[in-house]
Amino acid sequence: MLKLTGFDEEGNPAQFSKFAKFANCANCHRCAKTRRAIRSYSTLPNNSCLPTPSLRLLVRNLYEAYSNTQETLVSTATMSHSVPNLDAIGVKAEPELADTFRREVAQLLGRNNLNFPGAQPVSFSAKHLNELQQEDYYVCEKTDGIRCLMYFARGDPEVKPEIHYLIDRKNEYRFVDGLHFPMPDDDTFQSFHVDTLVDGELVLDTYEDGSQQLKFLVFDCLVLDGSSLMHRTLDKRLAYFKTNILKPYKKMFDTFPEEKQHRPFAVEDKETQFSYGIEMMFRDILPKVKRIHGNDGLIFTCRSTPYRIGTDEHILKWKPPSENTVDFRMRLEFPILEPDTDDEADGISEPYPDYDAIPICHLFVMLNAGEYRHFGELHITPTEWEDLKAMRVPLDDCIVECFKDETSRWRFHRIRDDKMDANHISTVEKVLESIEDRITEDDLIRIAPTIKTAWKKRQATAQSRNGVKRKFEE
């Protein structure tokens, strides 16, 4: 929670917050004077770490560059509605360091795979209406933000013992300065969590008066202080997070409200409801969140199943039928021109692409790593093509999110620069099934009473069993 307002003549930080001891070093991300030091380079070093004015000047320049990216946070996010710019929030770890973190996280999770450690939902289809009646599910709004996990890592105990990284869907790690999560029952707020992993999303709330606030909304907790919670039920995992992390975090800011201005973003739990509270979601919650950070549907998560990394058949993503989308890899094919007399006068004798024309936009889905299947073409108007070019981002071989229009043509929705690859063919098939089934808002509201009746019946049965068990034990 470091607040820097300037530097003295030798490049030392001029102002610190109350908890500066947790953010006082870093020309790198974990400073053990050498290798570990790479773990925190977006914060500033103390004199013992960088003793020479030249090195302090170097880090000052790094910090100023970092500060400049921080200033782009609001404008960048505003242009894309509520989607924050991760590069303006944290500093990306270099490949070797990121690989070290991936191994640490894999070890915490008890797995050998170094891929992105988050769960992924499946698209909602007609069969899931029965699933909601047979199992207990929670529901929350599907936020239009950036999905990230947050890793509470161990730093250098003498310099910066507490460090935090956001893990995006590309499995890249970004160091975020200024975070502190005290332990419960510590009124000094000096102790803190490490070896902890929570799941959530980063959103930028925009209010009616024009003010904005960056938030990290937590919807799951995988590991707490080195102990895996993945085998526990969702309600238990969330209870551990709220009691051990969120409650003392809020207490700290209640005690020191002036520190709020120094945090990179606020941390909150994501509001969830019982699955039968669907009508309230559509009536009360969705209209509110659409105004402040956007929304593109609902997420249903099974209460009783463990956290599953990768595709989880018990996390259901519902979107209005017209908003179901697929992420494709797009490759451009421009028409080929034969050289005319002017070209030949310029020494051009071979056919060449006509980059002034609208290309054929081929759409590909993934079969296996590095293997793709042609799935169709993007229908694009001249105006849409000009808008795409105006974005000034590489278009060939990028990931694009597309929807089907009323004539079943694939249309452009947005570029997914937060994703490394297209959807797998199995995911695409599920999305197409969802589009075909066309489960609407009215369908969900209509079935809510049946879901509630089934939930209450299961609850009564469980309570009866527990009562018999207690009586037997007595």
Catalytic residue positions, numbered: 142
CA–CA dist 6, 158 (Å, integer): 24
| CA angle in degrees (0–180, nearest 5) for 245-74-152 | 25
111: how many CB neighbours lie within 10 A of its CB?
13
Burial tier of 379 (Cβ tally within 10 Å: 0-12, 13-18, 19+): middle
Q: Which residues contact 232 (CB under 8 A, 6 or more apart)?
A: 240, 306
- In the chain the first and final C-alpha atoms are separated, in Å, by 52
CA–CA dist 454, 406 (Å, integer): 36
Paired sense of beta strands 212-224 and 266-269, if any: parallel
Q: How many residues does the chain have?
A: 474
CA–CA dist 48, 454 (Å, integer): 64
Burial tier of 460 (Cβ tally within 10 Å: 0-12, 13-18, 19+): exposed
Residue 149 amino acid letter: L
Judged by DSSP in three states, 44 sits in coil
What 8-state DSSP symbol labels residue 146? E
Q: What is the largest CA-CA distance in the chain?
A: 101
Residue of 395, 273, 244, 419 lying closest to 334 (CA atoms): 395
The sheet with strand 295-302 has its strands ordered as 119-123, 310-318, 295-302, 137-143, 273-274
Paired sense of beta strands 310-318 and 119-123, if any: parallel
Q: Is 267 left (phi over 0), alpha (psi -120 to 50) or beta?
A: beta
Token look-up 């973190």 returns: 101
Q: What separation in angstroms does the CA of 448 have from each of 183, 279, 281, 300?
A: 39, 8, 11, 13
CA–CA dist 312, 135 (Å, integer): 15
Q: What is the CA radius of gyration of the chain?
A: 25
- What are the phi and psi torsion angles at 75 (to 5°)? -65, -45
| 119, 315 Cβ separation under 8 angstroms | yes
Judged by DSSP in three states, 295 sits in strand
